Amino acid sequence: MDRRSLIRALGGAIVAAAALPKLAWAAWSSNAMKAGESTAAMNELFGTADVVASAEVKLKAPEIAENGAVVPLEVSTDMPAEQIAIFVDKNPSPLVMTATMGAGATGLVKTRVRMGESSNVVAVVKSGGKLYSASQEVKVTIGGCGG
Partner 1 sequence: MKKLTQLGILVSVAVSAPALASPEQDRATFEKFYESRFPQVAEGDFINGVYSILPAAREQWEAIEEFPPYEVAIELGEEIYNTPFANGKSFADCFDTPAQRENYPYWDSERGKVVTMEAAINECLVENGEKPFKTKKGKLAEVSAYMSYESRGQTINVQIPDDPAALAAYEQGKQLYYTKNGQLNFACSDCHMYGSGLNARAETMSPSLGHTSHWPVYRSKWQDMGTLHRRFAGCMTNVRAKPYKALGEEYSNLEYFLTYMSNGLEFNGPGARK
Partner 2 sequence: MAKTIRGKAKAKNGLVDVKLLMKHPMETGLRKDKDGNPIEAHFIQTVEATANGNTVFSAQFNTSVSKDPYLAFSFSGADKGDVLNIAWIDNKGETDSADVAIK
Please report whether residue 109 would count as binding partner 2 according to CB under 8 A. yes
C-alpha span between 85 and 124 (Å, rounded): 5
Residues lying near partner 1 in the complex (CB under 8 A) are found at 62-67, 69-72, 74, 110, 112, 141-147
The answer to whether 119 and 93 have CB atoms below 8 angstroms apart is no
Nearest distance in Å: CB 139, partner 2: 17
Amino acid in the structure at residue 113: V
Please report whether residue 33 would count as binding partner 2 according to CB under 8 A. yes
Would you give the end-to-end CA distance of the chain in angstroms? Answer: 54
Between 47 and 146, name the residue whose CB sits nearer to partner 2: 47
Please report whether residue 92 would count as binding partner 2 according to CB under 8 A. yes
Identified binder of partner 2 from the candidate list 21, 128, 129, 144, rule CB under 8 A: 21
Number of residues near partner 2 (by CB under 8 A): 37
C-alpha span between 16 and 57 (Å, rounded): 39
Between 32 and 131, name the residue whose CB sits nearer to partner 2: 32
C-alpha span between 20 and 23 (Å, rounded): 9
